[in-house]
Structure 1
Amino acid sequence: CRERGALLVIDEIQTGFGRTGKWFGFQHFGLEPDIIALAKGLGGGFPMGAIVYTDRVQDALYVGAHGSTFGGNPLACAAGLAAITTYQEEGLIEHAARQGEQLRNKLEAAIGDRPVVREIRGKGLMLGIDLRVKVGPLLKALMEEHRVLALPAGSTVLRLLPPLIIEDEEIDLAVEAIRAVVGEGN
């Protein structure tokens, strides 16, 4: 981007605010974005979004060039400030990094050698289990038989996005449920 004079725009809507074990996902890769799109974790569950940009971008904007019909909502801003304060004071970013590593290690030990598993990948508490089969039946079994809610990412990836406050016992329950639905024979 720097060589060509292009702006680097990074979408941190889902990956930001600790989900990957760092404040922002791009921090794992040493990137320096010009624009960052933020939402979800920014409001701690309250609907909120924002963009953050460098001086270079700011210099290109002028009054009236960018606007919002509901920007600066005081309630949303208070929720965002409370969420960020909570992430800091309760060490949730570091907790997500530790718990994500633990979850990934336990998944690798439980199912990593199964023929149906291509790869377990991700960062922090944003993991995916890439399978050699369609994920739909496994998701259904996880929910109906084990009360574990997971979502697909495409047709063969089981996506795991547990809350940043997940504890060891919950990780163990989730891993056991996933082990059971993946099964020995798959």
Structure 2
Amino acid sequence: MNTEPLKQLDMWIHPKDLIELKRDIWNDEPVEAILKTGQTKSHIYASYRGSHIRKLKKKSYQIEYRKPKQRQGESIFHLNAEYNDPSFIRNRLSFYFFEQMGVHSPAASHVFLTINGRKEGIYLKIESVDEFFLQKRQLSGGGIYYAVDDDANFSLLSSFDKKPKKHLLLGYEKKTGTSQHD
């Protein structure tokens, strides 16, 4: 596990774009921003991420590099607020345990986030599970699905109406893959 001091990420979003982002927490359209890590500045897109957590005071973000389209072998990463975990460690520990068991898991580290100079607090920076994740681990391409709502579970019944699911992929969104991965 990493024992280095927390990296600080400084995100700068034009006030007009920040108002637009906050206006509709369910909108997945990203806003343009600048991300500064140490001396490195990157042009990015920032958007909210998550389902239930969008309603919470501290938001989680998806960050996508604009120019250049990737940095250090990643094009997208996530900043999880970890709002419901007062220890800020449970999610990070789960990634660490999977890693120790030999299961491929996303790289994760804690960071301190500011937005427009305002301290937002500690976040968990998580590597996106995408084609770059597969390449870094020398895995062949395949289908990657993200859970997007409460139907992303192992039940045959929808968690919304308790009726049989019309398709077992309800609650999931395909991130990468071809039709053979459906």
TM-score by length of 1: 0.27
Q: Greater share of helix residues, 1 or 2?
A: 1
| Largest Rg, 1 or 2 | 1
